[in-house]
Amino acid sequence: MTRIASSRGRDLIESVEGLRMKAYQDGNGVWTIAYGHTSNVHPGDTCTQEQADAYLAGDLHQAEWAVNTFVKIPLNQNQFDALVSFQFNTGALAHSSTLPLLNEGKYTEAADHLLLYNKASGKVLAGLIRRRKAEHELFMSPATTLPDTPKKPTSELPTRSWNVVFDYYWNLILNIFKRK
């Protein structure tokens, strides 16, 4: 079953990312716009609310895909949402110390490992400490008995074009080569 983030998870991401309509450099020097969107962003870029929502939907879809793909044990909605937020921000769930613990069923230890990811460019950032704490608290909170629904029905979310997918992976490849 493919899961999607609930409105609570999406609200967490929107609140910690914040909305910026003009491109800026994040704590790692990566050009970013909207709700933490980094793919194909250049200095001076701007976006509309509609574009920001579309970027968020696409980036959220990628984060949801990663959690659905790499986590091999059952999660409640809050755990899923917390991991989607973590993946959305770091892109590192597959290579994190959290994932093996989680897939061994060590839920509490895995949640505690989320708190370790509080640095950008080697420096501890207060914003990342707050974000990881919020993700940890969400992960550890009991799931509600009623299912939570996304803010927008899936049919209203923008469809992904192959250009968006290509841009994402092309930028990922370029960033890997920049690090070497």
Task: Assign residue 37 the CATH number of its domain.
Answer: 1.10.530.40
Quote the pLDDT of residue 118.
Answer: 96
Residue 128 forms part of a structural domain? yes
**Residue 111 counted as domain residue:** yes
Q: What is the pLDDT of residue 115?
A: 98
Helix-helix angle 126-140:107-114, to 10 degrees: 160
Alpha-carbon distances of 69 from 32, 63, 83, rounded to whole Å: 26, 10, 12
Given this model, what pLDDT does residue 177 score?
55
Domain that holds residue 119: 7-144+154-179
* Domain total in the chain: 1
Q: Please indicate whether residue 64 is annotated as part of the active site.
A: no
Predicted local confidence at residue 170, as pLDDT: 54
Is 74 contained in some domain?
Answer: yes
Inside any domain, residue 1: no
Residues of the chain with pLDDT under 70: 144-180
Reported pTM = 0.79
Could you say which of 17, 64, 104, 109 is catalytic? 17
Residue 3: name the closest of 59, 64, 69 by CA. Answer: 64
User: Is 47 part of any domain?
Assistant: yes
The pLDDT, as a whole number, for residue 2 is: 87
